[in-house]
Amino acid sequence: MKVAKIIAWLGLIAMTVGLANGFINGDFLRDGAQLLDNPWGLMSLIDLYVGFALFSIWMVYRETSTTKAIIWVVIMMILGFFTGCIYVLKVLYEADGDWSIVFHGRPEGHEHE
């Protein structure tokens, strides 16, 4: 589980630096328009959002609260795998070394152990 935490932390750091760079040095509307004009840029966005959707299925499966699940999915669709890294870290730290809890969540009635 230590390796998973390291990878998630590295991903979060990389996403934070990348997002900061994009917001500081980029123009979201101009750069986004160029991305959509490029067939491979469009394909990259399709690939990205399919990944977001698949990852979101897992988040919804794990969450015991519909409200929390919806919030996580909305944030995932806006901030992408920056949110995914935070979610994975949350799950890893809550699991106390139990991979079953990482993948499936705690059994009903044991959410706050």
Q: Please write down the HEC assignment for all residues of 20-77.
A: HHHHHHCCHHHHHHHHHHCHHHHHHHHHHHHHHHHHHHHHHHHCCCHHHHHHHHHHHH
- Residue 44 lies inside a defined structural domain of this protein: yes
* Mean per-residue pLDDT, 75-102: 95
Nearby residues of 94 by Cβ (< 8 Å), 6 or more positions away: 101, 106
Full-model pTM: 0.86
Portion of the chain with pLDDT greater than 90, in percent: 88
Portion of the chain with pLDDT greater than 70, in percent: 95
Range of the domain at 31: 2-104
pLDDT of residue 112: 47
- Residue 113 lies inside a defined structural domain of this protein: no
- Residue 111 lies inside a defined structural domain of this protein: no
pLDDT of residue 110: 53
Number of folded domains that form the chain:
1
